[in-house]
Amino acid sequence: MNTAGFEWQKRLAPDSPDRESALRELRLFMLKGVRAGLFRRPGTDDDFLEDVVQSAMIRVLDHLDRFEGRSAFTTWAIAIALRVAFTELRRKHWNNVSLDELREKGAFPRSEAASGSDPHEAAARHSLITLLHRIIRKELSPHQRDMLLAELNGMPHDEIAAQMGLTRNAVYKLGHDARRALRRALEAAGYGIEEVRNVLERQEG
């Protein structure tokens, strides 16, 4: 238990006589922390860092009661600041790509059998991919399909969340439910995950 962390909580409380000085110290500490964590990363000039720390301070103060003393308070606060920073960096990076575009593109090129592969292995692979295609269509909701599609195209959860009007947690849960559903459906069709790997790798190897 990190008891020094609870001192921060007391000093930052709205009725604390020491609040202003605690806020100043925390701001400087967070600024130093995010600067070190984002060192030489494009788009992270001083203005960006100041904005991040400003937003992160508000979030830290709103969530003071969630600090449980299992780490240093400053580590906890810097973790929050880094989440704010990366969320903003990803938003800037992905703001020209929409889920609609990915959906309209039909998403993915169809996987073709490698030339010269064993016909039995190629058939096994084809049948597995057809099954995968079918269960994605049948077992997943449109939201889950969109989420999976975006994720497989590298879109971060923050951006998927923003475009779907959900929270990042809700997007994670959507993906988790989709993965569980796919895994169960594959197992129900007689494919354990290792068997799936084997069928795919036999041809690739």
Partner 1 sequence: MVPGDDQIRALVNALSITREHEIDCSECLDMVAEFAERELSNRPIPDALETVRHHLTRCGECREEYEALFTTLKRMQEQEESEGRPD
Q: Would you tell me which residues interact with partner 1 (CB under 8 A)? A: 32-34, 36-39, 66, 68, 70-72, 75-76, 78-80, 82-83, 85-86, 90, 106-111, 129, 132-133, 136-137, 145, 148-149, 152, 156-158, 168-169, 172-173, 176, 179-180, 182-183, 186, 193, 196-197, 200, 204
Q: Which of 81, 55, 64, 56 has the alpha carbon at shortest distance from 7?
A: 64
Is 33 or 53 the residue whose CB approaches partner 1 more closely?
33
Residue 19 or residue 168: which is nearer to partner 1 going by CB? 168
For residue 16, the minimal CB distance to partner 1 (Å) is 22
Token look-up 């439910």 returns 177
Q: 7 vs 20, which CB is nearer to partner 1?
A: 7
Largest interatomic CA distance in the chain: 78
CB of 50 to partner 1, least distance (A): 17
Asked if residue 80 lies in contact with residue 58, where contact means CB atoms within 8 angstroms, the answer is no
Handedness of CA 24, 26, 28, 31 (dihedral sign): negative
- H-assigned helices in 140-167: 142-152, 157-164
Minimum CB separation of residue 140 from partner 1 in Å reads 9
Q: Which residues of 74-104 are buried (b: 16+ CB within 10 A; e: fewer)?
A: bebbbebbbebbbbbbbeeebeeeebeebee
What is the nearest approach in angstroms of partner 1 to the Cβ of residue 20? 24
Q: Which is nearer to partner 1, 20 or 152 (CB)?
A: 152
